[in-house]
Amino acid sequence: DGGITQSPKYLFRKEGQNVTLSCEQNLNHDAMYWYRQDPGQGLRLIYYSQIVNDFQKGDIAEGYSVSREKKESFPLTVTSAQKNPTAFYLCASSVAGNYEQFFGPGTRLTVL
Amino acid sequence: AQSVTQLGSHVSVSEGALVLLRCNYSSSVPPYLFWYVQYPNQGLQLLLKYTSAATLVKGINGFEAEFKKSETSFHLTKPSAHMSDAAEYFCAVRGSGGGADGLTFGKGTHLIIQP
């Protein structure tokens, strides 16, 4: 079955720690995205990548970092510089040049 | 700049009644528009999309939406609500960067179905 997997589903971390969220897709999509979702705020774009070894900042990139070493994988690191990291994080992918995005099940990060 | 406004953070309808969720957009390029549905603690699932073909778009689960350029609207409707329709609904517009720069989402509408 083709799709997007995110792990873990729930993640708890202490304040000041970096944490990495996993996103893997087997849809052979070129483009991948990370969004942050907060209650009543909709989804906001953190980073996106159109091809391997290239990525662009989205609207709220501060305090986050990404890598794209493989087409299938687009991990997101939430650094200690992110002031309010507790949120629901969604990964998505799309065919290059196609606007329709497919979403993973999300990771809920709680910073204690 | 791209923007999406969803009127009403919460909409409540009775089971069997018409569902109408409103979406207005602003776009600096010809708009491609999407409606997604999200069930609690899950990812987003595409309901339907408008990509400059027919202005009345039919989607999954009996939903449809009509693109009205003059009103910059893309409202979502369903003739008869079912309990299973209770969820969060998001309207989105494509970015202006030419293909892979993400979608701009509205803040969402929580649909409540009364028995």
In this prediction, residue B94 carries a pLDDT of 87
Indicate the average pLDDT of chain A: 93
Residue B38 has pLDDT above 90, yes or no: yes
Helix H, strand E, coil C: the string for chain A is CCCEEEECCEEEECCCCCEEEEEEECCCCCEEEEEEEECCCEEEEEEEEEECCEEEECCCCCCEEECCCECCECCEEECCCCCCCCEEEEEEEECCCCCCCEECCCEEEEEC
| Partner-chain contact B43 A45, CB within 8 Å | no
Least confident range of A60-69, B51-60, B89-98 = B89-98
In this prediction, residue A1 carries a pLDDT of 65
In this prediction, residue B102 carries a pLDDT of 81
The residue of chain A with its CA nearest to that of B109 is A40
Residue B98 has pLDDT above 70, yes or no: no
Least confident range of A9-13, A38-42, B8-12, B104-108 = A38-42
Q: Which residues contact A64 (CB under 8 A, 6 or more apart)?
A: A34, A46, A47, A76, A77, A78, A79, A82
Question: Looking at beta carbons, which residues of chain A come within 8 Å of B90?
Answer: 42-43
Select from B105, B109, B110 the residue whose CB has the most chain A CBs within 10 Å, as the one to mutate to test that interface.
B105
| Partner-chain contact B100 A104, CB within 8 Å | no
**Is the peptide bond between B79 and the residue preceding it cis, with omega within 30 degrees of 0?**
no
Alpha carbon distance A14, A2 (integer Å)? 34
Mean pLDDT along residues A67-83: 95
Interface check for A42 against chain B (CB to CB < 8 A): the answer is yes
Percentage, residues of chain A above pLDDT 90: 80
Option in A42, A96, A100 nearest B90 (CB): A42
Q: Would the CA dihedral through A61, B27, B22, B85 be positive or negative?
A: negative
Question: Looking at beta carbons, which residues of chain A come within 8 Å of B41?
Answer: 88, 106, 108
Cross-strand bridge partners of residue A45? A35
Question: Looking at beta carbons, which residues of chain B come within 8 Å of A92?
Answer: 44
* CA B96 centroid distance within chain: 19
Percentage, residues of chain B above pLDDT 70: 97
Structure tokens at B99: 């293909």
Whether residue A76 contacts residue A3, with contact meaning beta carbons closer than 8 Å, is answered with no
Indicate the average pLDDT of chain B: 92
Tens-digit pLDDT profile for residues A25-65: 999 999 999 999 998 888 999 999 999 999 999 989 999 99
Residue B99 has pLDDT above 70, yes or no: no
Helix, coil or strand: residue B71: coil
In this prediction, residue B69 carries a pLDDT of 92
Whether residue A103 contacts residue B44, with contact meaning beta carbons closer than 8 Å, is answered with yes
Interface check for A85 against chain B (CB to CB < 8 A): the answer is no
Q: Which residue has the higher pLDDT, A16 or B45?
A: B45
